[in-house]
Amino acid sequence: MNDRITDTPAPKVSFVSLGCPKALVDSERIVTRLRAEGYELSRQHQGSDLVIVNTCGFLDSAKAESLSAIGNALKENGKVIVTGCMGAEPESISSAYPDVLAITGPQQYESVLDAVHRALPPRHDPFLDLVPPEGIKLTPRHYAYLKISEGCNNRCTFCIIPKLRGDLVSRDAADVLREAEKLTAAGVKELLVISQDTSAYGLDIKYAASRWRDKEVRAKFLDLASALGELGVWVRLHYVYPYPHVDEVIPLMANKKVLPYLDMPLQHAAPDVLKRMRRPASQERTLERIARWREICPDLTLRSTFIVGFPGETDEDFELLLQWLDEASLDRVGCFKYEPVKGAPANDLAAPVPDEVKEQRWHRFMQAQQKISARRLKRKVGTRQQVIIDEVGPSVAKGRSMADAPEIDGAVYVASRRPLRVGEIATVKIERADAYDLHGTAVGF
């Protein structure tokens, strides 16, 4: 064994990951590479040799959070490298914090690593610093995000992601599937498929086929979903727009090949607002489509997000949204008050909605949806649900059914006569529902 290596402490890096699941995947990649090079990771800025802050620049409030995280890191440690979405506008960081060591943009893994190498050279020994084959997951071991593409071809007027991350760049299907296989081999029980627009997957590479196991798999939404469905783990699809070809995936959900769950950010229902937002698939007849999906797959859970107070949103537009919401009867819904994002074309649209009107609309929206969500949840009382366990407590474990994505949806609280393990999937009899969560007892393991 090499004495020099055992005598020298490993360089220690503290990592802050802000923003959406997509940013989390970027963080995981950086962290995996750092670990492979022999860096040690710490949760504490103090005592670390360096801090990396992966920023989010989507909304002004996220930017403020990122800037404050950079400020804290500088105060507590002093050596700070900034990466992520805010790195696309380096002046906004360097003007506030001229002392940061380096600023790199989103997905610039190599540049982040170069900056780390310059500030804190690696102490690498491939025999000592082995990385688990699935990489380092910042999410718990039993679930992992699987990023299938970067960037976006849409140009929603409130969004600067295409500016920050560029047009759609899809990964080969075989590449995605190999990563998924490695994750499941390492114990991951649930894969969360993410991208900016999952239903557009493969468009940029003309749906090219690549070889996985003994067959060719096209880089197509349906083909990828069905190949992932062969892995025998939960597969959850996020950021899917209601294009007609999404219909094809519903039978896979009815057969539980992939989870009967669609995260479909719709943002509004009024045609004029959708037009001004320049939303993808806004012309599709979404209500009819949802009704058909539910006929094919009655257990389908639909999650969505909406924006109220978008410039030019009239009272009629808002009433139409509420009416739509009632008819669609979605299971899980998030709602944001419109916030102008620097550099977004929507800022130049006429008729901004006053803050107090935004606030009122947001409250009305949330009240309306809460009733719908509670009604949908109540239907589950008396049923048996498969529940994946996230946390165990002394008497009750906390988990999620197929209808609940981690971090954004509700939970299932499970009483059990035998201790449950994190990552285990138990059959749970649902006894009670409140506004967001379910409660029940494990009846099968």
Of positions 152, 188, 264, 405, contacts ligand SF4 by CB under 6 A: 152
- Indicate if the alpha-carbon torsion angle 154, 407, 26, 345 is positive or negative: positive
The torsion angles phi and psi of 90, rounded to 5 degrees, stand at: -60, -30
How far, in Å, CA of 196 to CA of 174, rounded? 20
CA distance 212 to 250: 23
Q: How far is the CB of 266 from ligand SF4 (least distance, A)?
A: 11
Using the rule CB under 6 A, give the single segment among 10-18, 110-118, 158-166, 248-256 that binds ligand SF4: 158-166
CB 6 to ligand SF4: min, Å: 47
Farthest-apart Cα atoms in the chain, separation: 74
DSSP state for residue 215 in the 8-state scheme: E
3-state secondary structure 98-154: CCCCEECCCCCHHHHHHHHHHHCCCCCCCCCCCCCCCCCCCCCCCEEEEECEECCCC
Asked if 334 is part of the footprint of ligand SF4 (rule: CB under 6 A), the reply reads no
CB of 380 to ligand SF4, least distance (A): 30
Which positions from 175 to 214 touch ligand SF4 by CB under 6 A, shown as an x/- string?
Answer: ---------------------xx-----------------
Position 330: which residue type?
Answer: L
242 lines the binding site for ligand SF4 (CB under 6 A): no
Does 246 contact ligand SF4 by CB under 6 A?
A: no
Instruction: Return all residues near 241 (Cβ < 8 A) that are at least 6 apart.
Output: 197, 199, 200, 264, 265, 280, 281
Q: Which is nearer to ligand SF4, 16 or 200 (CB)?
A: 200
Q: For residues 336 and 436, which CB has a smaller minimum distance to ligand SF4 in the complex? A: 336
Name the segment binding ligand SF4 (CB under 6 A); options: 47-55, 151-159, 246-254, 409-417.
151-159
Out of 161, 164, 425, 442, name the contact with ligand SF4 by CB under 6 A. Answer: 161
Q: Is 341 in the site for ligand SF4 (CB under 6 A)?
A: no
Cβ pair 15, 52 in contact under 8 A: yes
| Residue of the chain from 25, 80, 156, 290 that contacts ligand SF4 (CB under 6 A) | 156
The answer to the question of residue 162 lying near ligand SF4 (CB under 6 A) is yes
Residue 398's closest CA among 417, 378, 421?
421
Q: Say if CB 152 and CB 160 are below 8 A apart.
A: no
What is the b/e burial string over 338-359, where b = at least 16 CB atoms within 10 angstroms of the residue's CB? Answer: beebeebbbeebeebbeeebbe
Q: Which of 87, 106, 260, 280 binds ligand SF4 (CB under 6 A)?
A: 280
Q: Which stretch binds ligand SF4 (CB under 6 A): 20-28, 107-115, 150-158, 401-409?
A: 150-158
CB count within 10 Å of CB 36 equals 16
DSSP-assigned letters across all residues of 362-381: HHHHHHHHHHHHHHHHHTTT
Residue 159 engages ligand SF4 in binding (rule: CB under 6 A): yes
Q: How far is the CB of 165 from ligand SF4 (least distance, A)?
A: 8
CB of 405 to ligand SF4, least distance (A): 17
In the complex, the smallest distance separating the C-beta of residue 362 from ligand SF4, rounded to whole angstroms, is 19
Residue 373 binds ligand SF4, judged by CB under 6 A? no
Of residues 32 and 198, the one with the C-beta less far from ligand SF4: 198
Interacting residues of 231 by C-beta distance below 8 A, sequence separation 6+: 180, 181, 184, 191
56 binds ligand SF4 (CB under 6 A): no
Interface segment toward ligand SF4; rule CB under 6 A; list 94-102, 149-157, 377-385, 415-423: 149-157
Q: Taking CA 396 as the corner, what is the angle to CA 391 and CA 401, rounded to the nearest 5 degrees?
A: 60
Q: Closest CB to ligand SF4 among 277 and 300?
A: 277
277 or 426: CB nearest ligand SF4: 277
Instruction: Answer for the pair 406, 400: CB distance below 8 angstroms, yes or no.
Output: yes
Residue in 77, 154, 210, 386 binding ligand SF4, rule: CB under 6 A: 154
The residues of the shown chain that bind ligand SF4, judged by CB under 6 A, are 152, 154-156, 159, 161-162, 196-197, 280
